Structure 1
Amino acid sequence: MKITLEELLAYTTVVDSGSVTAAAELLGQTTSGISRALSRLEKKLDTTLLRRTTRRLTMTEEGQSFLVHAREIINAVDHAEEQMALRRQIPAGRLRVNAAAPFMEHVIVPLVPGFRQNFPQIELELNTDNRIIDLVEKRTDIAIRIGILRDSTIHARLLGTSQVRILASPDYLARCGTPHSVEALSHHCLLGFTQPESLNQWPLRNHQAEFFTITPTLSASSGETLRQLALCGVGIVRLADFMTRQDQQAGRLIPLLTEETLVVRQPINAVYYRNTPLAARITCFLDYVSTHINEQTL
């Protein structure tokens, strides 16, 4: 037995209006359509709800009892629709965002106070993973991915780009000297990634190719770990501006081999599954982050 909302509406409208004809006019249906809906409802309930005469309709005792439940169901549906409409106007609810730890720390976290002030009814849940995650498995609304996207089954929105540079601290350069050619890097401590190997291809022109593949002297899986090592004067590193911009502005990290460095800007995308129109809480977050990333000119 599966009672439909159409049948409940037909029943309550007939009761309220006093006739099948009046109910049909109110609901924009035919009288035969309303009559069939009532018949189906009574058959599913295996009871008589209305006694029909040529002059009037009267409810049975069962009909009176069922009317209370029918109204509760219709009111609950109306309330749910109102709440959904309200959420479209005022973004609300839990929003799960996933990003690599460095991007979360250097870009997303500083934006949270302003975002919370503008959208206080959105409950942010911020998670970090340095590897690509399954959005459904991790119950994630938005994942921020840096670099070229490989998965064509998900939707993406470009939030901005961030340039890659070769950097070292003043302390390291004072102790070990400043390399003035790509070839001179072989005499220095190079900080690289354990994986993927593509991150150890530095955007440097040399006589062999446009990208210079390094063999790291010291490796780490996290860009933030490499940043901290570079700040401590351990070696030379390849990192994106989104996590080193303030270090460069403060003079804590110095760009090296600027003439040999290719302008490589990594795309920063927000990815999400989209089977239905995006919820307002997702749209407003993407708009807010995109605006502020562009302002920062990562």
Structure 2
Amino acid sequence: MDNRFGDIETFLAVAREGSLAAAAKALRLTPSAVSRCIGRLEQRLGVTLLRRTTRSLALTVDGATYRDRMMALMAEMADVESGLGQEDSGPRGLLRVNASVSFGTQCLLPILPHFLERHPAVTVDLALSDAVVDLVEERADIAIRIGPLRDTRLRAKKLGHSRMVLVASPAYLARRGTPERPEDLDRHECLQFSFRRSVDSWHFRIGGRTVQRPVQGRFFGNSGEVVRQMAIAGGGIARHGRFHVAADLRDGRLVEVLGDFSAGDGEDIHALYSAQDRLAARVRAFVDFLDDELELPS
């Protein structure tokens, strides 16, 4: 009978204990039985997992990769099994959340402690990245997306809308002057984004219609947070969602410019999660929490 899960567990024990003998003792098997398990696993995979000598045992590159992947899968299986039949006792288990750096630092982190206090059986694994990730590949339960939605395989819950604003530091404006009209930006450093979905033109409302004006500058950042920090440091004028710079505007680190020419455009913010029929209690609880607790400046 194929006992591949037993072989995998035996391999993980060897990797953890550092020797066949120690793994055999932990598993209450004989060293020869452990050796046979490893042999079957290597034969089935077609790779060498362990490098054995008379005095030591070490994982090969393939062995280390296989260990890491199997440990993650085993943890996922344990998480699934522990969550079955537990709906009546409330949300529990590991909740993996993915969000942009700007949204995570400005909006999620300030309220996450309240969620953890409310749901003591839930553990949150928060990953912040401005790269658009695949929820399945990254094994994320929820992703916060800013802007147009493209993945129709997922459910989406709209959390709010944030207007775009142009901002600069008082020090930069004192040094370079405050632009009075959109065309004045030609004489300023406009801070831009380097990722693919960014654009090199900004929207303005001029003469009753919305127009796009190209901008230029000598700085590109790979995240909204990088561009924000550059603006605070006096590096130029940046265009951000208001949620990202609301505290800076309130505290005077940044000031809004060309507000009279605002096109009123902005970006919708959604929580995306699996479209499966039965939603895990911890995912449903987090979506409801965001809907109730998240406050986005308009």
Q: TM-score, normalised by structure 1?
A: 0.68
Q: Take 2:145 and 2:112, find their aligned partners in 1: how far apart are those partners?
A: 18
Q: Which runs of 5 or more residues in structure 1 are unaligned? A: 1-79
- Aligned partners of 2:230 and 2:83: how far apart in 1? 50
The 1:183/1:83 distance shift into structure 2, 3 A limit, reads closer
Is 2:294 the partner of 1:287? no
**SS of structure 1 residue aligned to 2:259:** coil
Task: Look up the SS of the partner of 1:150 in the other structure.
Answer: coil
1:161 matches 2:161: yes
Contact 2:100–2:130 (CA under 8 A) maintained in structure 1:
yes
Aligned 1:103-114 pairs, distance under 5 A: 103-114=103-114
Tell me the CA shift for residue 290 of structure 1: 2.0
Report how far residue 85 of structure 1 moved: 4.4
CA offset at residue 279 of structure 1?
1.2
Q: Name the CA distance, whole Å, in 2 between partners of 1:182 and 1:206.
A: 9
Cα distance change on mapping 1:201 and 1:129 into 2, 3 Å = same
| Corresponding residue of 2:32 | none
5 Å-filtered alignment, 1:1-298, equals 84-196=84-196, 198-206=198-206, 210-293=211-294, 295-298=295-298
- Residue type of the alignment partner of 2:151: D
Contact 2:210 2:263 in 1 (8 A): no
Which secondary structure does the structure 1 equivalent of 2:126 belong to? strand
Partners of 2:160 and 2:293 in 1: CA distance? 10
Distance 1:296 1:225 in 2: 21
Give the aligned residue type for 1:92. Answer: R
Q: Residue 109 of structure 2 aligns to a residue in which SS?
A: helix
- SS for the counterpart of 2:91 is coil
Write the deviation string for residues 30-70 of structure 1: whole angstroms up to 9, x where unpaired. xxxxxxxxxxxxxxxxxxxxxxxxxxxxxxxxxxxxxxxxx
2-structure distance, mates of 1:237, 1:297: 18
**C-alpha offsets along residues 1-21 of structure 1, whole Å, 9 cap, x if unaligned?**
xxxxxxxxxxxxxxxxxxxxx
Distance 1:83 1:132, change over 3 A: closer
Q: Which has the larger radius of gyration?
A: 1
Give the aligned residue type for 1:227: R
SS of 2:110's partner is helix
Structure 1: which amino acid aligns with 2:230? L
> What SS does structure 1 have at the residue aligned with 2:195?
coil
Identity score, percent: 35
Relative to 1, partners in 2 of residues 1:99 and 1:197: Cα closer, same or farther, differing over 3 Å? closer
Letter in 2 for 1:258: G
Residue identity opposite 1:165 in structure 2: V
Counterpart CA distance in 2 for 1:88 and 1:239 is 43
Q: CA deviation at 1:215?
A: 2.5
Residue by residue over 1:202-236, the C-alpha shift from the partner in whole angstroms, topping out at 9 and shown as x without a partner, is: 22234795222322321111110110010011100
Residue 276 of structure 1: how far off its partner (Å): 2.4
Q: Say whether the 8 Å CA contact 1:97–1:127 is kept in structure 2.
A: yes
CA contact 1:182–1:205 (8 Å) conserved in 2: no
1:281 partner amino acid: R
Q: CA RMSD in A?
A: 2.2
> In structure 2, what is the Cα distance between the partners aligned to 1:269 and 1:108?
13
Instruction: Assess if the C-alpha contact under 8 Å between 2:82 and 2:93 holds in 1.
Output: no
- What SS does the aligned partner of 1:110 have? coil
| Paired residue total | 218
Secondary structure at the residue paired with 1:137? helix
Q: Whole-Å Cα distance in 1 between the matches of residues 102 and 112 of structure 2? A: 15
Conserved? CA contact 2:83–2:93, under 8 Å:
no
1:214–1:85 CA distance, 2 compared to 1 (3 A) = same
Distance 1:199 1:289, change over 3 A: farther
Following TM superposition, by how much is the alpha carbon of 1:296 offset from its aligned partner in structure 2, in angstroms? Answer: 4.1
Q: 1:278 to 1:103 in 2, by over 3 A?
A: same
Native 8 Å contact 1:142 1:282 kept in 2: yes
After superposing on structure 2, the runs of 4+ consecutive aligned residues of structure 1 that deviate more than 6 Å are 80-83
Q: Distance in 1 between matches of 2:254 and 2:83?
A: 51
Name the aligned partner's letter for residue 173 of structure 1. Answer: L
What's the TM-score once normalised by structure 2's chain length?
Answer: 0.68
Cα distance in structure 2, aligned partners of 1:252 and 1:179: 18
